[in-house]
Amino acid sequence: MTRPTANPRRAVPAVDKVLAALVPVALPRPMVVAIVREVLATLRRAQSVPGFEEVVQQVQRSLQDAGRARLCSVINGTGIIIHTNLGRAPLSPAALRGINEAAGYCNLEMDLTDGKRGGRAAHVERCLALLCGAEAAAVVNNCAAALVLALRHYTAAKPEVIISRGELVQIGGGFRIPEILAASGAVLREVGTTNRTTLEDYSRALGPKTGLLLQVHRSNFFMEGFVASPGTAELAALAKKKRVPFVVDLGSGAPCDTDGWAGEHEPTPAEVIKQGATLVCFSGDKLLGGPQAGVIVGSARHVAALKREPFFRALRCDKLVLAAMQGTVEEHLSGNHAANPVQAMLSADVISLRRRARRIVKSLAGLSLKVSVGEGRAQAGGGTLPRVQIPSVTVSCESAGVAGLLRAARTPVIGYVAGNRFHIDLRTVFPSQDRALIAAFREVLNRETIQKPITHEE
Ligand SMILES: *Cc1c(COP(=O)(O)O)cnc(C)c1O
């Protein structure tokens, strides 16, 4: 094959001519036209125009790249259950049914008993309050929004927020507690040191300018060694004595005990409420396994005051989120935690994962690259339970470029490379995706080899 020659004097082809030569793609026509123009403009600037066929191929590649930016379903083989880049929590069928029902008209703000205007989110708030053993609940767009709402509310009259230096943390991309505080107009009053803060430190800092006492859960890291800080109950008692609101930013929001499978205790919103927090906020799409949302639970008076803030209007959730939240929370409230994909993945047993892995590997025998069963370590992810590594099972092969190829498959597969090998952790792959996973391997590794399709016995 000869290299396509680039000729500086050759003119770029006409847009229409290129458009006519393209293989159809699933992108809106104006976007296709814009991409053709961009590619041609780049070639014109470079003053090096390849032959027509090569121009068309370049355009086709750009179209393919643009098409990959469309939101689409992927197979998560990373072993990270709550993966922010992959959309955090996968929703449960109950949440999906909720979305489906609410998508058309729904009783979002109508009381069906009297036909008058009803409270938006009234039912889901009631469920959340029950789940967390709190008097009341409110739902906003995410946990960051919940925290900003609380900070703005309590610091309007008294600007100072008291927080331990050990909790001035960064949660994820663009979420740093000191910056959130500054953006909310609060004045940061740091107490203690990075590794040690005492109740006395808090007590000394409390004064007439204190708007609230804030505790931020160290959800995504842990400290060991010469460390100490007062417990939530102690802080709650101090705040109560000094008549200052006590807000806990919990983040993770575990709906049930994690000790059983994780061997590690993650505080639940219900526990923190019981320990005396005025308000607790947590994410909807972490351990709760729901849609992106920020949940605030706590005293009825305080929750109502937050909801009266004009700023609350800017943070309110749409009907689809509320419907997904309703399905998610009703399930947890009924004790049916295992129906939630996050909980199901966290507690899936290794034996069944291995059985699936063997079946997948068997049906991939004879490909150009040998695929085998391996051991893996899955994680909860989403900045939760950072210490917990869950034994898992992988489908693995030599790494040579496989990661990129599988990302480009019809159903993109995302795995990870470790020890010179490419791995797919099956804990985060839905059993219903096993076929698509096999198809993706076949598509990219060896199109000629056809094995008989696997059948699921479960
Ligand atoms: C994840 C987390 C947040 C941010 O939650 P979002 O819902 O992503 O806004 C805030 N605080 C803590 C402690 C967290 O773990």
Nearest CA to 141 out of 285, 289, 315 is that of 315
Count of beta carbons in the 10 Å neighbourhood of residue 188: 15
Lowest mean pLDDT segment, chosen from 35-49, 124-138, 144-158, 171-185: 171-185
DSSP 53-90: HHHHHHHHHHHHHHHHTS----EE-SSEEEBGGGTBSP
Q: pLDDT per residue over 71-116, tens digit each?
A: 999 999 999 999 999 999 999 999 999 999 999 999 999 999 999 9
Q: Cβ distance 416 to 325 under 8 Å?
A: no
H-helix or E-strand spanning residue 154: helix 143-155
pLDDT at 453 over 50: no
* Residue 123, pLDDT score: 97
Counting atoms of ligand 1 from 1, which one is nearest the CA of 217? 13
- The dihedrals phi and psi of 155, each to the nearest 5 degrees, come to -100, 5
The protein residue with its alpha carbon nearest to ligand 1, atom 12, reads 251
Counting atoms of ligand 1 from 1, which one is nearest the CA of 169? 13
- Residue 446 — pLDDT band, cuts 50, 70, 90? low
pLDDT at 457 over 50: no
Counting atoms of ligand 1 from 1, which one is nearest the CA of 252? 15
Q: Could you write out the three-class secondary structure of 422-440?
A: EEEEHHHCCHHHHHHHHHH
* Residue 350, pLDDT score: 97
Burial class from Cβ neighbours inside 10 Å (0-12, 13-18, 19+) for residue 289 reads: buried
Q: pLDDT per residue over 115-145, tens digit each?
A: 999 999 999 999 999 999 999 999 999 999 9
* Residue 47, pLDDT score: 81
* Residue 456, pLDDT score: 46
Q: pLDDT per residue over 407-430, tens digit each?
A: 999 999 999 999 889 999 999 999
- 3-state SS, residue 267: coil
- Residue 301 — pLDDT band, cuts 50, 70, 90? very high
Nearest CA to 266 out of 217, 305, 230 is that of 217
DSSP 1-38: -PPPPEETTSPPPPHHHHHHHSPP-SS-HHHHHHHHHH
Residue bearing tokens 């496989």: 402
* Residue 414, pLDDT score: 98
The protein residue with its alpha carbon nearest to ligand 1, atom 1, reads 251
Counting atoms of ligand 1 from 1, which one is nearest the CA of 172? 1
Span from the CA of 232 to the centroid of ligand 1 (angstroms): 18
Ligand 1 neighbours, Cβ below 6 Å, are 142-144, 171, 175, 216-217, 219, 249, 251-252, 283, 294, 383
Burial class from Cβ neighbours inside 10 Å (0-12, 13-18, 19+) for residue 117 reads: exposed
Percent of the chain with pLDDT over 90: 81
- Residue 48 — pLDDT band, cuts 50, 70, 90? confident
Average pLDDT score over residue span 255-259:
85
Lowest mean pLDDT segment, chosen from 104-108, 222-226, 249-253, 453-457: 453-457
Cα–Cα dist 76/412, whole Å = 9
- Residue 8 — pLDDT band, cuts 50, 70, 90? low
* Residue 328, pLDDT score: 98
State both tokens at 217.
């859960």
State both tokens at 73.
């379903």
pLDDT at 241 over 70: yes
Cα–Cα dist 342/323, whole Å = 18
Residue 450 to residues 36, 366, 447, 454, Cα–Cα distance (Å) = 37, 9, 8, 12
pLDDT at 454 over 50: no
Span from the CA of 217 to the centroid of ligand 1 (angstroms): 9
Span from the CA of 253 to the centroid of ligand 1 (angstroms): 9
Average pLDDT, the chain: 92
Q: Cβ distance 383 to 172 under 8 Å?
A: yes
- Residue 341 — pLDDT band, cuts 50, 70, 90? very high
Pairing between β-strand 80-82 and β-strand 279-283 as defined by DSSP bridges: unpaired
Cα–Cα dist 390/260, whole Å = 12
Counting atoms of ligand 1 from 1, which one is nearest the CA of 220? 15
Pocket perturbation via mutation, ligand 1, pick of 85, 248, 281, 282 by most ligand atoms within 8 A of CB: 282
Percent of the chain with pLDDT over 70: 95
Lowest mean pLDDT segment, chosen from 79-93, 276-290, 371-385, 426-440: 371-385
Lowest mean pLDDT segment, chosen from 2-6, 38-42, 231-235, 280-284: 2-6
* Residue 5, pLDDT score: 66
Average pLDDT score over residue span 162-181:
89
DSSP state of 337: G
Handedness of CA 167, 172, 173, 174 (dihedral sign): negative
* Residue with more model confidence, 392 or 449: 392
Counting atoms of ligand 1 from 1, which one is nearest the CA of 382? 1
* Residue 452, pLDDT score: 40
Average pLDDT score over residue span 290-317:
97
Cα–Cα dist 232/240, whole Å = 12
Residue bearing tokens 């967390």: 132
The protein residue with its alpha carbon nearest to ligand 1, atom 6, reads 143
Lowest mean pLDDT segment, chosen from 1-5, 29-33, 299-303: 1-5
Span from the CA of 400 to the centroid of ligand 1 (angstroms): 36
Average pLDDT score over residue span 193-215:
96
Count of beta carbons in the 10 Å neighbourhood of residue 112: 8
Indicate the angle between helix axes 319-333 and 122-131, nearest 10 degrees: 30
Span from the CA of 143 to the centroid of ligand 1 (angstroms): 5
Nearest CA to 146 out of 256, 285, 255 is that of 285
The protein residue with its alpha carbon nearest to ligand 1, atom 15, reads 251
* Residue 382, pLDDT score: 84
DSSP state of 410: S
pLDDT at 448 over 90: no
Count of beta carbons in the 10 Å neighbourhood of residue 119: 12
Average pLDDT score over residue span 285-294:
97
